[in-house]
């Protein structure tokens, strides 16, 4: 009989699931945080020589394939309208100068031309306040890293790779003052994800990494779909048009929810994340998800419809329905 080394005896004594988990993580058993989607294939163990099913990280998700249907339409419309404004801006300035020199301008026409610049001044103020607010966040929140909430950092690293992001976004935990939420943003060339502290409280109290993982997938989905790119500044004029700017924002939320579903492969976790946004960390685990799903029919109506059309996020029951109704493409 072949003599076995202590490592081989230990390897043979493991359950199949334990063996696969160690082969994937190269870490301790019973990791509590979730694993990114993997591919399974047969491979001979280098320790014991037994042919086993080994898991390897899946290929990166091509985020653009899962973009919500209407997002592209709204995006093209905003690009056209914003381009018209940015082209008109220097032209209006040139006309104003020419009219001023020739003294042929009427007050009403001059006011009309100068009004184009109000949007530009408002744009400059928005950019300034944007960077100031993020300066505050970066200094008054907790930055996540290998030595600061390493479990969360591990999820962000794995999901960034899973979604094909070339660089891992910076992650900060901000005091949410009771609000369970998160958002993604970009500071010029630096991607950022902000997690509200109440999400982390759920993680600590209930050891529920699936909830946090779902939210992280959603926010990283915004980055993967270029929702936080500098193009947003170009689209600023069109965003001010009633109904149009918020329509694009809502469609982007649906797109990020799709990315969350594709990355998680766990509809229950995705739905639970949305339920917690509605009910909060105390009641989230007690909510009947099916009844919350049906609430969009029971409580719908004109004013509910109008409220959504004026908002930059869809109603949560509608997002829940979109996740349930979206069918994942079959693996090729």
Least confident of 20-24, 72-76, 79-83, 280-284: 20-24
Q: What is the mean pLDDT of residues 252-273?
A: 93
Classify 302 as helix, strand or coil: helix
Whether 49 and 170 share a structural domain: no
Q: d(Cα 136, Cα 115) in Å, to the nearest integer?
A: 32
Phi-psi group of 30: left, alpha or beta (phi > 0 → left; psi -120 to 50 → alpha; rest → beta): left
Structural domain of 243: 63-68+139-283
Beta partners for 184? 193
* 152/271 same-domain check: yes
Whether 178 is covered by a domain: the verdict is yes
Which of 239, 265, 283 is the C-terminal boundary of a domain? 283
Q: Is residue 78 part of a domain?
A: no
Q: Are residues 153 and 45 in the same domain?
A: no
d(CA 41, CA 55): 6
Please tell me the total count of domains within the chain: 2
Distance CA 44, CA 24 (A): 14
> 146 and 270 share a domain?
yes
Q: Give the Å distances, CA to CA, from 325 to 249, 254, 320.
A: 20, 12, 9
More confident residue, 15 or 225: 225
pLDDT the model gives residue 222: 96
CB burial of 186-209 (b: ≥16 within 10 Å; e: otherwise) equals beeeebbbbbbbbbbebbeeeebb
Q: Is residue 28 part of a domain?
A: yes
Whole-model pTM: value is 0.79
Per-residue pLDDT, 25 = 31
Check whether 26 has a pLDDT greater than 50: no
On whether residue 149 sits in a domain, the answer given is: yes
Q: Which residues contact 171 (CB under 8 A, 6 or more apart)?
A: 143, 144, 152, 153, 156, 192, 193, 194, 195
* Exposure of 184 in the CB half-sphere (CA atoms within 13 A): 24
* Concatenated DSSP letters of 220-245: HHHHHTTTTSTHHHHTHHHHTSTTHH
Residue 176 and residue 40 share a domain: no
Contact 52, 45 (CB under 8 A): yes
* pLDDT tops 70 at residue 322: yes
| DSSP code of residue 145 | B
Contact (CB, 8 A) for 259 and 224: yes
Q: Do 161 and 278 lie in a common domain?
A: yes
Is residue 19 assigned to a domain? yes
Kindly report the backbone phi and psi dihedral angles of residue 193, in degrees, each rounded to the nearest multiple of 5, phi listed first.
-125, 125
Domain contains 162: yes
Asked whether residue 54 carries a pLDDT value surpassing 90, the answer given is: no
CA atoms 277, 283, 284, 287: torsion sign: negative
* CA 218 from centroid of its chain's CA atoms: 3
Contacts of 90 (CB under 8 A, 6+ apart): none
Reported as a single tens digit per residue, the pLDDT across 161-191 is 999 999 999 999 999 887 888 999 988 778 9
In this structure, is residue 267 part of a structural domain? yes
Q: State the pLDDT confidence band at 39, using cuts at 50, 70 and 90.
A: low
Whole-angstrom distance, CA of residue 54 vs CA of residue 42: 6
Beta strands 38-44; 51-57: pairing state: antiparallel
Could you report how far apart the first and last alpha carbons of the chain are, in Å?
Answer: 44
Does residue 186 lie within any of the structural domains?
A: yes
């Amino acid at each position: 009989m072949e003599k076995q080394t202590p490592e081989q005896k230990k390897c043979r004594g493991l359950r199949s699931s334990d063996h696969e988990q160690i082969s994937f993580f190269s870490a301790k058993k019973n990791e509590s945080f979730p694993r990114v989607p993997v591919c399974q294939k047969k491979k001979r163990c280098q320790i014991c020589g037994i042919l086993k099913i080994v898991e390897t990280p899946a290929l990166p998700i091509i985020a653009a394939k899962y973009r919500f249907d209407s997002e592209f339409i709204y995006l093209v419309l905003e690009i056209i309208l914003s381009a018209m404004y940015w082209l008109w801006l220097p032209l209006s300035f040139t006309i104003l100068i020419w009219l001023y020199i020739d003294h042929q301008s009427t007050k009403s026409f001059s006011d009309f031309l100068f009004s184009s610049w109000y949007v530009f001044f408002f744009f400059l103020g928005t950019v300034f306040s944007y960077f100031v607010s993020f300066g505050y966040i970066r200094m008054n929140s907790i930055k996540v890293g290998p030595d600061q909430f390493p479990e969360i950092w591990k999820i962000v690293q794995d999901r960034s790779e899973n979604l094909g992001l070339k660089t891992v976004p910076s992650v900060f935990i901000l005091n949410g003052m009771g609000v369970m939420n998160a958002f993604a943003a970009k500071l010029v060339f630096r991607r950022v994800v902000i997690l509200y502290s109440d999400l982390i409280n759920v993680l600590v109290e209930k050891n529920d990494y699936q909830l946090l993982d779902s939210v992280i997938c959603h926010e990283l989905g915004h980055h993967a779909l270029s929702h936080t790119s500098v193009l947003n500044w170009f689209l600023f004029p069109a965003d001010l048009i009633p109904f149009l700017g918020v329509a694009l924002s809502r469609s982007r939320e649906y797109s990020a929810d799709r990315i969350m579903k594709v990355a998680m492969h766990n509809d229950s976790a995705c739905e639970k994340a949305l339920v917690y946004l509605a009910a909060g960390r105390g009641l989230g685990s007690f909510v009947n998800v099916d009844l919350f799903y049906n609430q969009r029919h029971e409580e719908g109506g004109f004013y509910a419809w109008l409220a959504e059309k004026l908002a930059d996020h869809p109603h949560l029951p509608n997002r829940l329905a979109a996740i349930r109704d979206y069918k994942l493409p079959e693996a090729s």
